[in-house]
Every structure is written in C-alpha cells, then in structure tokens.
Amino acid sequence: MGKSDAELKPLPTIPVNSKPVNNKPTVHHTATVQVTQAPVVPSPEPADSYEPPEEVKKIHIQTLEVKKADGTKLHLSDCTGDRRALLIGINYTGLANPLHGCVNDTADMKKFLLSVGFQEENIRVLTDDQVGTQWMPTRENIFHHLKWLIHDAKKNDSYFLHYSGHGGQVRDLDGDETDGQDNCIFPVDHAENGVIIDDELHRDVVKKLPPGVRLTVLFDCCHSGSALDLPYIYAATGYIRGSSALANLGHELVEGNFDAEALKELQEKWQKLQLEEKEFARQVSLKAADADVIMFSGCKDDQTSADVSITRGGNTSSNGAMTYAFTKCIRENPVQSYQEMLGNIRDLLKDKYKQKPQLSSSRPMNMQELFHM
C-alpha cells in the first residue's frame, strides 16, 4: 500500500442513519492465503456494450411466496424498490501474495450494474488503490459501507454485494460449521485487524435484513462456497444439497445387485445420509433468514478461485474468473432460470478451471424462477 493505516486520513461523514462501527470479533482471526495462476480465456464483449432487450425490460416479476422449513410463508422481493450496490476489490498492492484483477473486477461490475438499471449515486466502490480515503477496503470501512448498503431496508428493495479478493478459512470456534472451518475474506489491513469471517457477515448483513428484501451476492474468492453461511446450497440439478438425500438411494435399489458387499455399502450410505439430513436440518435452524438472500460463489469451500487474463480491443487485463463468467453469462442470455444460470456459469469455466461455482440461499428456492435483481 502507498500509506500505512497510521497515515490514513480520518473518515469523512457518510450519509447514513448511524455512525460507523468497528465490528471487531473478540478473537483476532488470522488465515493463510492460497494463490492461483492466471490462464488466458477468450475475450468477452466490452463491459459497457450490453443492452437488455426490450422484452426483458418489460418483465415484471410478481412478488412470490415460499414456505420456510417450519411451514410459515415468506414474502420475496420483486426487486422494484430501491437499488443499492457495494463493490469491494482488493489487489493487496505492496503486500504479500498480491492479486492483479480484483480492482478491474469492481470496474467491470459497476459498468454491468449501470447497464441493468442501477444508478451511479447508489453504487459504492471500495478498492485498495484509493489510499487515504474512506473507500479503502479496511476491515472497519467494509463494515461501515455494509451498514450503508442495507440501511432503511424495506419490502421489494434490491441490493447487490460483490467481493473480489483473497478468501480463506479459520478454525470454527462456536460449533456452527459442519466442516469445523469458518470461511473468511481478507480486508487490506487483515494483518493488523484480522479477517472477516462468515459468522460476522451472516450476523451483520443477512440477519439484519427484513422480509421482502433481496440481496444478491457475488463472492469471487477462494473458499467462498458458504461465505455468507446460507443454509440452502443448490446443485445444478435444481435440488438442495443435503436435503431429502435419502431419496437419492432409490436408483441403487433397483439395480438388482444385492450381494453381501453391496448391501453393506448400501447400509453405510444410508447411515451417512441420515447424518447428512440431520446436519442439514441443524444448519437450517441456525442460519435460515427472513430476507431474500441469494449468493453466487466462485468455488466450493475447499477450492480456490482463479484469476484470468482477458483481451479486449487489443488490451489484456486481469480479472477474476467468477466475475468474468457471471457478467458474460447474463449478457449472452438475459432471460434464464437460476438453474440454467448456475449450469451456464459452470460451463464457461469447466474446461480451464477446477473451481466449481456455487449457488446458495437464505430460503428455499424454485430454481426454475427467472434470475432477476
């Protein structure tokens, strides 16, 4: 970085209803960073060339109702209210393990959001090339602007959160994680003030949103599969991973192979899936929320996410693979279901990258519903 944290100017007042807060956890979390190389991918259309077709502009998504795990109805946002976006990109310039495409990701995402109806004055961008300002992505500034993002939230509002930077894992201290690890992101000052773990993001963002508010999230970083601790994680088939898992054994029972070894293996699978269903129910009881939160993640919890090199108009730049795939997927097909979108994003990356993008939600989804935000 150009300046140390001690040299940063005081934060100017930001027009929200309450003052910035420093939500440091009691425990100072540290984590290690994994770095991936940047292969070259085909060039997409320029980020500012996308124009939604007229039929998409006229689509009115009616307010839907879904049922929570306890059977009560949950109202969803139709995304016709206020729109706000917070974009965070950290290259870690001058630090160990620098990245090269994260600031570019925020610029591309901003152009994309402007093309689909978000207004300039309602988009805030935190990048680590804005040294000495309130727009530096320090831990304190990130929480401050997250508070701005969701302030005065009301029914049918639509918010967007984008993070491109390093991600990692730390030991889970409160027992809410199936794998014993909390996922985390790395503010630019993580060495001094700690990482931000998924429990904090879930508590201060997801749980703070009222019913009927949409938050669409894109995390382009390593170990991001459950970076918001959303309990409903969807497969490309449209089914929830972990729920009704016992039914998936049905096809094995009709194969006709009932020798002793096969029966033993089937019994072991049955017992494992029973435990998975119990754990899924526990996760829902802990982490389901009333708001309409949908998250696209660059990879599974145990995977890393790649940087890519993209050529536009003869110029080559670095970007995050997931940010590239997300925006390209929507530009090429503005009208698609969530199930189709998850599959199409994975198809864009599968030939060159090992990462497998994920889709998770705070509530049960109809994966045939058209993507909107």
The set of catalytic residues is 166, 222
Coil/strand/helix, residue 203: helix
Cβ–Cβ under 8 Å, residues 228 and 206? yes
Three-state SS at 253 = helix
How far apart are alpha carbons 291 and 340 in whole angstroms? 23
- DSSP structure string for 267-334: HHHHHHHHHHHHHHHHHHHHH--SSEEEEEESS-TT----EEEEEETTEEEEEEHHHHHHHHHHHH-S
Classified as helix, coil or strand, 348 is helix
Q: Distance (Å, rounded) from C-alpha 32 to C-alpha 359?
A: 25
Give the HSE-up count for residue 266: Cα atoms under 13 Å, Cβ half-sphere: 17
Instruction: For residues 363 and 76, give the distance between their C-alpha atoms in angstroms, rounded to a whole number.
Output: 10
Residue 220 to residues 80, 87, 115, 254, 358: CA-CA distances in angstroms? Answer: 26, 11, 21, 41, 11
Tokens of 287: 């982490």
User: Could you give the 3-state DSSP secondary structure of residue 214?
Assistant: strand
The pair of structure tokens assigned to 350 is 């599968």
Distance CA 361, CA 283 (A): 12
Q: Which residue has the tokens 């870690």?
A: 92
